[in-house]
Structure 1
């Protein structure tokens, strides 16, 4: 049983080495133990706006419900409200052009981690050198795997691997998946856009997470993705779980991480 746990997080977003616009957005709300990564799609004035609208709407909901208490239903409603807002924005400002965003959200309530997601932004658990994907991509290739058309190995290299089947802001009726699990002392929880997983295999991600310091581990992930060429925007949030008396000690200047411009 966990007692007096401490959570430490590190988040960073980078435009990458190829694209000129960063369509990713992130939210760190440690006061409520909530973290979000959103990956926009649709280009300038579409994807970047959609992901930020999603983040802003969730942030507003958290602020409004912080006193009475956050629940899974509150977080789902925040995402559904953002879905409506993005669709309305597309109709009024983009002449019907589709703007959308994937999402992965982590909320730690007591000793339980809750994940909400839509699209192919992912959530992972890293514990005792073992990396496991918690979320399941809403993608065309995953549907083919489910149908037995592709193996998991074939899906990893499939040319349509970036075709997603679910996103916020695309259709009015959107399903947001949810899964929960107990947290474990010593584990790290990773939220990321597909800009990270598109460059790094699970084995490469696990290798970068060997470091106990959450800032060093998160920075190593970003460096590794950029070193691979970072063809897409790269966004990640890393959350570590430790005992209160074992929480890492950080100086203020430790929190300043170069953006690899």
Structure 2
């Protein structure tokens, strides 16, 4: 069991170097140990609104259930409700034009990390210099890999690499994937849109994360993506797991959330 563990988080979103509209949204709710990254699609007045509807709906659900208790089912229902709202918005405001958004959500409950996602926004775990992708992209190239048509190396440069097969707000019957793993002292958990992973390889991400401070690590990731040209919006949230005795600065204290179990 983990005792006297604190979570630090750092989140940032950037329009990038090419796009004029930021269709990404993020939600940080450290009081309930919940973080969300959403990558909207569909252009101005579509993707940006879709991602905002998603995070606002989740935020409302968290507020309503904060004292009754957050559960995976509550979070899934929040996402499904957002799915309905986005579809309704598309019909009423966009003449049926599709507005959608990916999602990756992290909820740390006691010593367990829960990941919920749809689309190609990703969740990673960085521990002892090793970066592991927790989520699995809902994408066309991943389907081709599963079918044995493509290798993982070929998929990285495939021209349909940005085609996703699942997103919130696109179809009424949406499936949300869910995985769990134990929280480990000393690890960093990364949520990000494909604007980050489209510019940086896993090796590059791991290199930027080799810093003690979650703020420095997160800032380095964003700087590296922008330095590569940032053709898409870039959004990331980093969550680090540490013992309270290891956090000394006032700046760190402002970002810490006690976690006891």
TM range (shorter): over 0.9
Match of 1:41 in 2: 41
Q: Which runs of 4+ in 1 moved over 4 A?
A: none
2:144 equivalent to 1:144: yes
TM alignment of 1:83-94, pairs within 5 A: 83-94=83-94
TM-score by length of 2: 0.96
Partners of 2:250 and 2:97 in 1: CA distance = 45
Gaps of 5+ in 2: 256-261
Partners of 1:194 and 1:248 in 2: CA distance = 34
Match of 1:214 in 2: 214
Match of 2:78 in 1: 78
The offset of 1:247, in angstroms, is 2.6
Please say if residues 16 and 226 of structure 1, whose CA atoms lie closer than 8 Å, have aligned partners that are also in contact.
yes
Gaps of 5+ in 1: 256-261
SS of the residue aligned with 1:231? coil
Greater RCO structure (CA 8 Å; 6+ sep): 2
Partners of 2:246 and 2:3 in 1: CA distance = 12
TM-score by length of 1: 0.96
Partners of 2:251 and 2:179 in 1: CA distance = 35
Match of 1:196 in 2: 196
Partners of 1:247 and 1:93 in 2: CA distance = 48
Please say if residues 76 and 176 of structure 1, whose CA atoms lie closer than 8 Å, have aligned partners that are also in contact.
yes
**Over aligned residue pairs, what C-alpha RMSD do you find?**
1.2
The offset of 1:3, in angstroms, is 1.4
SS of the residue aligned with 2:102? strand
Match of 1:237 in 2: 237
C-alpha offsets along residues 8-61 of structure 1, whole Å, 9 cap, x if unaligned? 000000000000000000000000000000000000000000000000000000
SS of the residue aligned with 2:61? helix
Partners of 1:34 and 1:190 in 2: CA distance = 13
SS of the residue aligned with 1:155? helix
Please say if residues 213 and 248 of structure 1, whose CA atoms lie closer than 8 Å, have aligned partners that are also in contact.
no
The offset of 1:196, in angstroms, is 0.1
Please say if residues 141 and 160 of structure 1, whose CA atoms lie closer than 8 Å, have aligned partners that are also in contact.
yes
Match of 1:8 in 2: 8
Match of 1:127 in 2: 127
Match of 1:259 in 2: none
